[in-house]
Amino acid sequence: MALKIVAACVNCWACEPLCPSQAISAAVPHFIIDAKKCTECDGDYADAQCASICPIECAIVDGFDMPLNPPGSLTNIPPERLAALG
Amino acid sequence: MATTPIEIGKKSGCAASSCGSTSDQMSHLPEHIRERVFNHPCYSEQAHHHFARMHVAVAPACNIQCNYCNRKYDCANESRPGVVSELLHPDQAIKKVIAVAAAIPQMTVVGIAGPGDPLANPERTFATFRGIAEYAPDIKLCVSTNGLSLPQHAEELSRHNIDHVTITINTLDEEIGAEIYPWVFWNHRRIRGRAAARILIEQQQRGLEMLTERGVLVKVNSVMIPGVNDSHLKEVSRVVKSKGAFLHNVMPLIAEVEHGTYYGVMEQPSPTAQELQALQDACAGDMNMMRHCRQCRADAVGLLGEDRGAEFTLDKIEAMEFDYEEIRARRAAVQSAIAEEMNKPKVQVATVSLASLKRRAVATPPVLMAVASKGGNVVNQHFGHATEFLVYEASEAGVRFVGTRRTDQYCVGSDHCDEGEDKLALAITALDGCRAVLCARIGITPWEALEAAGIKPDSDHAMEPIEEAVAALYAAMAEAGELSDAPSVGASVA
Ligand code: SF4
Ligand code: SF4
């Protein structure tokens, strides 16, 4: 049971101080979650803290590689519109 | 700096914003506030030619989303959109401040404005302020915030040497807020829609009240978003003033598709320079307006409108050594010399007689005129070198400063702007609505292009004091009948 930060991450630091398990650290090319430490915030918070503040859609994914913040969910920009721009 | 008196019978019942107003926005302020901000380059049109400021980018995280921001770049509230600053650790930021203070003794102000929200990174922000206060206690500190965490930190802010806090307040209405902010992070949850806007608005207003109660100067920034909050901003101005904010800075939305922001991608129009000015004029009856804001980037260094950031990159400052006492003494000497210079009585500007105008059956309407100036309140810049123009409204009642127009405001890519022709096109876009542009010199190509765009180029008043030059040109154009068809400008609200 762990979340994962993927390439979309912009290294904004927002998630790092919020993690109750100190599972997140700065790294190159982007932040990483230590899968052994991540509890998905179970027992600490109702929502995964990193995914609740992360401003970037698709930067954090679950064990099935499904983004916790799918396209269009944070900026309200319709995904088709973004796709059309390339 | 006084308005050039143009002796025509004084109109009665005109707005406070135009009567007795001067080009220096500071004159509206109570004495104790004016004393605190006279050498602040961002608040005084006069000070910005003399004193320098720098921003340090120590605060990466943010706790809200604004529709004019793309978090791949710096916060768009205070800094320029589409820019990425080099993130500094507090120790590096302190060292950079010392390095800049040594090289630029005119520096009076250090601000933290991003790249995220300074109060969403309280440890980094306050560590930076503590370090600066230790090594350079005379330097003023300022901080900008979206306000969400402000009540939590208001007490600590008032204990530091932080006397200027900027809060970006775009609305007081949660319905409008829901259109500007898709979400906020609050109490460990992401909150969306009207509930999110309600929390943000409450926190901003409470933070504003807490700061003014504690004697901290508060400036309010608002981003003007046509069709969303533009008609509501007059109310914002009135309310924040009643709660003790000392300045209101209405900035234009800057939305370009390539910035990847919601407003950029959805092609939300930005206000034109004239729409912005009309709103600033409308708010000015309630509030001191800040008209010369340059929307600096989060790591800007130097005099307003210039950026010497490249001289102070991390690798360069790491290698520098400093004698703090010596630097502080030099800074004090340079700054007191500037203050003396600024306080010298200004050369009395000649009275321009518009007696001839009084006989005209139809009054000459007010018009906007742009000036290329390197500072010193003189028309002294080559048209082609200007990256911004000072805009004045000339009318039968006198000449008043109404704002600045940057040519790179409309610039989309850095390489782009170096091209002569593009630069000229950008300058002409920036001058939209102006009837004339006064400069020290100008080439034949831009001269013709300006004329074709209905903007009269003028270099006859080179090296003259700006207000005298604008008044003289206005009088001459009025005399020649060139202004009788001018559309009225500036929608002054009485
Ligand atoms: S889900 Fe919770 S525990 Fe896991 S990395 Fe994110 S914040 Fe830390
Ligand atoms: S909040 Fe998101 S974008 Fe920011 S560092 Fe964490 S994973 Fe990356």
State pLDDT tens for residues B276-328.
Answer: 888 888 877 645 555 544 444 444 555 444 556 666 676 776 666 667 677 77
Q: Which of B317, B338, B362 is the last residue of a domain?
A: B317
Structure tokens at B231: 């008609």
Q: Kindly report the CATH number assigned to the domain that includes residue B301.
A: 3.20.20.70
Residues B82 and B184 in one domain: yes
Residues B45 and B154 in one domain: yes
- Ligand 2 pocket test, pick from A3, A5, A47 with the greatest ligand atom count within 8 Å of Cβ, gives A5
Indicate the length of chain A as a whole number: 86
Q: Kindly give the confidence (pLDDT) of every residue in chain B, 494 residues in length, as a single tens digit, with 9 standing for 90 and above.
A: 333 333 333 333 322 222 222 334 445 556 666 666 555 555 555 555 556 677 888 999 999 999 998 888 776 655 555 566 678 899 988 988 888 887 777 777 888 877 889 999 999 999 999 998 888 888 888 899 999 999 999 999 988 877 689 999 999 999 999 999 999 999 999 999 999 999 999 999 999 999 999 988 898 999 999 999 999 999 999 999 899 888 888 888 888 887 888 888 888 888 888 888 888 888 776 455 555 444 444 445 554 445 566 666 767 766 666 676 777 777 677 666 666 665 655 443 334 444 444 444 457 788 899 999 887 778 888 998 888 888 888 888 788 877 778 776 544 444 444 455 678 888 888 898 899 999 999 998 999 999 999 999 999 999 888 888 999 999 999 888 888 765 544 433 33
Q: Kindly report the CATH number assigned to the domain that includes residue A41.
A: 3.30.70.20
- Overall domain count for chain A: 1
Per DSSP, the three-state class of B113 is strand
Inter-residue contact A9 to A28 (CB < 8 Å): no
Residues B176 and B298 in one domain: yes
Residues B143 and B244 in one domain: yes
Q: Which amino acid is at B17?
A: S
ipTM of the complex: 0.94
Inter-residue contact B349 to B4 (CB < 8 Å): yes
- Chain B contact set for A46 (CB, 8 A): 188-189
Interchain pair A82, B257: CB under 8 A: no
| CA distance to partner chain A, nearest, from residue B146 (Å) | 15
| CA distance to partner chain B, nearest, from residue A47 (Å) | 7
> Does the CB atom of residue A68 touch ligand 1 within 6 A?
no
Structure tokens at B478: 């009025």
- Overall domain count for chain B: 2
> Does the CB atom of residue A59 touch ligand 1 within 6 A?
no
Residues B88 and B14 in one domain: yes
Residues B276 and B374 in one domain: no
Residue in A12, A47, A52 closest to B71 by CB: A12
Place of tokens 């004159």: B27
CA–CA distance from B178 to each of B81, B186, B187, B195 (Å)?
Answer: 21, 15, 19, 8
- Chain A contact set for B62 (CB, 8 A): 12, 14, 55
Is residue B129 situated within a structural domain? yes
Q: Kindly report the CATH number assigned to the domain that includes residue B454.
A: 3.30.420.130
| CA distance to partner chain B, nearest, from residue A36 (Å) | 22
Is residue B322 situated within a structural domain? no
Residues B52 and B190 in one domain: yes
Interchain pair B62, A74: CB under 8 A: no
The pTM score is 0.71
Domain carrying residue A39: 1-86
Is residue B342 situated within a structural domain? no
Please give the torsion angle defined by the CA atoms of residues B160, B164, B168 and B170, in that order, rounded to the nearest 10 degrees.
Answer: 130
Residue in B63, B65, B266 closest to A74 by CB: B65
Is residue B491 situated within a structural domain? no
- Chain B contact set for A56 (CB, 8 A): 71-72
Residues B18 and B157 in one domain: yes
Is residue B328 situated within a structural domain? no
Residues B164 and B296 in one domain: yes
Residue of A nearest to B264 (CA): A77
- Chain B contact set for A17 (CB, 8 A): 61
Is residue B411 situated within a structural domain? yes
Please list the residues that pair with B438 across neighbouring strands. B371, B458
Ligand 1 atom with the smallest distance to the CA of A2 is 4
- Chain A contact set for B185 (CB, 8 A): 14, 52-53
- The predicted-structure confidence for A43-65, as pLDDT tens digits, reads as follows 999 999 999 999 999 999 999 99
Is residue B245 situated within a structural domain? yes
Is residue B344 situated within a structural domain? no
Residues B67 and B198 in one domain: yes
In chain A, residues 53-82 whose CB comes closer than 8 Å to chain B: 53, 55-56, 74-77, 81-82
Which residue has the CA at smallest separation from atom 8 of ligand 2?
A9
A49 touches chain B (CB under 8 A): yes
Domain carrying residue B414: 351-479
CA–CA distance from B374 to each of B46, B184, B390, B431, B486 (Å)?
Answer: 12, 42, 10, 17, 28
